[in-house]
Amino acid sequence: MSAAEFGHFVLTIAVLLGAVHGLGFFVERLKQPRIVGEILAGILVGPFVLKLLAPSAFHQVFSFSSSSGTVLGFLYQLGLVQLMFCSGAETRRLLAAENRKKTIWLITVSDLGSFLFVLGIGALGLIPLARLTGPLGRPSATLLIVAIAVSVTSIPVISRIFWDLGIMRTRFVSLLLGYAVLEDIALWVVLAFAMALAKSGSVAGQHLGGTVTAHVLSTFIYMVAAMVFMPMVLRWLGQARWNMLYQASPVGYIVFVLMAYCAIAAAMDVNLQFAALLAGYGVVGGIRGTERERVAEPVGAIAKVSFGVFVPIYFGLVGYKLVFGREFSWAVLLVFFFASSAIAVATKSLAARLGGFRGLDMVNIALTTNARGGPGIVLASVAYEAKLINAAFYTALVITAVVTSQVCGAWLRYVLGKGLPLLSSNPEETWPLEAGQSTAGAPEEIAA
């Protein structure tokens, strides 16, 4: 990289960081999720600021064939990985005794129901997959991505909304975060299946089953090892006296663990974002979170840097990649947004009712779990980067993720503002339960 290229790159990062934080701060004052402003900054800064100020520099930096563009692409991927790592580290009280039965209802009826419904209408030809598929995609892989996009729930966004509202310690939050984590793990496995299916397009027909089976099997092995065995291994390593890396720098050690998870995942052809989520999960001690208190400080330091630099850059670049030109389709956006929201809310409401919830409880659960947020954007980014979906569907997925997250935040604020509990079984859990809390100085919640 020449001095001129480095200068263009530094200018890009400086302008992008200033824009994402400025607009993120502004939309927070409007009581909206911060990522809305960060994505909007990416939409505006690229074509409307940098391109006007320095057209040649803009094309050079944002061309991923150039050296500066390659570095920018690395920062994009790093932000995505760190977002998922921090999300995994935030998980707590998974499958607590009082939530297990209800979580099972949500997983089986809500996710399985909506997933199978989408696959069914797709098999009947009622989804125009040809208008959604990318240049390297296959209709069958695209259909799986549509089904995932309808079912997915955002851990990072709903966690951030919960913290901003001061309800992180409620049963409502422990129930929905536990459900969201298990749901996302299942959906990442399906995404791995979809990507394997797309890659097998160049493989002979008789090898298709073996290719997909091998890919899914490697993902399953990785998941079991990361969820069952690695938390114990990491706990032992973290407490070992001979672990000089941890003693020298706990932050460096945890980043090393994250990179090791990703490197092994790459070797096994496992989705890297899924690996990062499991890395965060393993670092804090797995399902019981036995190491959460011990690693709180280094994980919090990583979260502060991640959400101060790399994650905003990622969301800014997500916004930059949105297409509003000739490839943009209002029809794709509106049909997907309303149809997917209707399916998701209906199945999640049914699951909540079968789980024993009634009335307002069902609405709160349905609208919250319909927030697609971070994972919805991650899904869109991964599928678009792999060329499984086209630009129009990518834009529809991202906008749907943002709008459903806005609806979630606005609804929960409205319910709490009325003095109503989020779960009728826990009437004490309402404002001013933790009114006046601030995200400042709370690294674990900031990581959400």
> Tens digits of per-residue pLDDT, 21-32?
999 899 888 877
Q: Would you say residue 379 has pLDDT above 50?
A: yes
Q: What is the pLDDT of residues 137-185, one digit of tens each?
A: 788 888 888 988 888 876 666 766 776 777 766 778 778 777 776 776 6
Phi, psi of 376 (to 5 degrees): -65, -40
Look at residue 416 and tell me whether its pLDDT is greater than 70.
yes
Does residue 127 sit in the same domain as residue 38? no
Same domain for 176 and 190? yes
Q: What does the pLDDT read at residue 205?
A: 46
Q: What would the DSSP string read from start to end of 142-181?
A: HHHHHHHHHH---HHHHHHHHHHHT-TTSHHHHHHHHHHH
Q: Are 326 and 239 part of one and the same domain? A: yes
Residues 31 and 90 in one domain: no
3-state helix, strand, coil in the chain (%, to 5): 75, 0, 25
Between 70 and 242, the more confident residue is 242
Per-residue pLDDT averaged across 100-119, rounded? 81
Phi then psi dihedrals of residue 389, to 5 deg: -125, 160
- Residues 158 and 63 occupy one common structural domain: no
The pLDDT assigned to 173 comes to: 79
State residue 157's pLDDT score.
66
Residues 88 and 118 in one domain: yes
Provide the domain limits for residue 175.
81-446
User: In degrees to the nearest 10, what's the CA dihedral of 171, 177, 181, 186?
Assistant: 80
- Same domain flag for 10 and 118: no
Question: Any idea how long the chain is?
Answer: 448
Confidence of residue 410 (pLDDT cuts 50, 70, 90): confident
Residues 118 and 28 in one domain: no
Question: Using 50, 70 and 90 to split pLDDT, how confident is the model at 279?
Answer: very high
User: So what's the pLDDT on residue 250?
Assistant: 93
Last residue in a domain, options 59, 80, 101:
80
Same domain, 76 and 163: no
The answer on 325 and 281 residing in a single domain is yes
Q: What is the pLDDT of residue 406?
A: 81
Non-local (6+) Cβ contacts of 236 within 8 A are none
| Domain co-membership, 149 together with 205 | yes
Give CA–CA dist 29/26, Å, rounded.
5
Please state, for a pLDDT cut of 70, what percent of the chain lies above it.
79
For residue 273, give Cα distances in angstroms to 11, 145, 262: 28, 16, 8
Cα-only R_g, the chain: 21
What are the pLDDT digits (tens) for 263-275? 999 898 787 877 8
pLDDT at 93: 58
Structural domain total, the chain: 2
In this structure, the answer to whether residues 348 and 437 fall within a common structural domain is yes
Domain limit, last residue, from 80, 111, 139: 80
pLDDT tens, residue by residue, 250-263: 999 999 999 999 99
CATH of the domain at 143: 1.20.1530.20
Give mean pLDDT, residues 101-122.
83
Q: How many C-beta neighbours within 10 Å does residue 205 have? A: 7
440 vs 98, which has greater pLDDT?
A: 98
Backbone angles phi, psi at 96, to 5 degrees: -60, 150
d(CA 226, CA 403): 33
Predicted pLDDT of residue 121: 94
Please state, in angstroms and as integers, the Cα–Cα distance from residue 56 to each residue in 32, 51, 60, 64, 66, following that order: 35, 8, 6, 14, 12
Evaluate if residue 377 carries a pLDDT over 60.
yes
Single residue among 80, 112, 138 that ends a domain in this structure: 80
DSSP string, 47-104: IIIIHHH-HHHHHHHH-TTSHHHHHHHHHHHHHHHHHHHHHHHH--STT-GGGHHHHH
